[in-house]
Amino acid sequence: MDAMTSHQSTQTMKPATAAKKLGVYLEATPAEFREGVVSRAELNELQTNPPQWLQDLRSNGPHPRPVVAAKLGVSIAGLARGGVTEPLTTEQIETLKQDSPEWLVRERATQAEVRKETARIKKKHAERDA
């Protein structure tokens, strides 16, 4: 009985979950990362002391859609409306910013309006609750 109660199970997650938490595109990670499981301690270590492959992915990509959307200043839905469905590299993102296609300009304006409206509602709630 003692051995059972003193044994603590290690919390693990699928590689897809860990990649999401690390903000990287799973398919671009090394095979040993994709094929294993990641413990909470390993995830913390990756976040604290990222190995070279993780630094390179974060810096150069390819980036998952949430990261691409954030770097472009649009929503994930806005990316889809703009026809961007694949992960992009940092270089591709920079090219899009420079080219500034019509859909990107439109989606950035939409996102700015959403942020303004969110701030207005938050302020209204704060005034009401005060």
12: pLDDT strictly greater than 90: no
Cα–Cα dist 66/23, whole Å: 8
Given a contact cutoff of 8 angstroms between Cβ atoms, the answer to whether 19 and 29 are in contact is yes
pLDDT of residue 5: 46
Give one DSSP letter per residue of 53-103, joined into a string: HHHHHHHH-PBPHHHHHHHHTS-HHHHHHTT--S-B-HHHHHHHHHH--HH
The two structure tokens encoding residue 35: 């094929």
User: Domain limits of the chain?
Assistant: 11-60, 62-129
Mean pLDDT of 31-59: 92
pLDDT grade, residue 4 (50/70/90)? very low
Angle subtended at Cα 33 by Cα 28 and Cα 36, rounded to the nearest 5 degrees:
140
pLDDT of residue 88: 95
Q: What percent of the chain has pLDDT over 70?
A: 93
pLDDT in tens, 69-93: 999 999 999 999 999 999 999 999 9
Q: Is 67 exposed, middle or buried (0-12, 13-18, 19+ CB in 10 A)?
A: buried
17: pLDDT strictly greater than 80: yes
Mean pLDDT of 58-68: 94
9: pLDDT strictly greater than 80: no
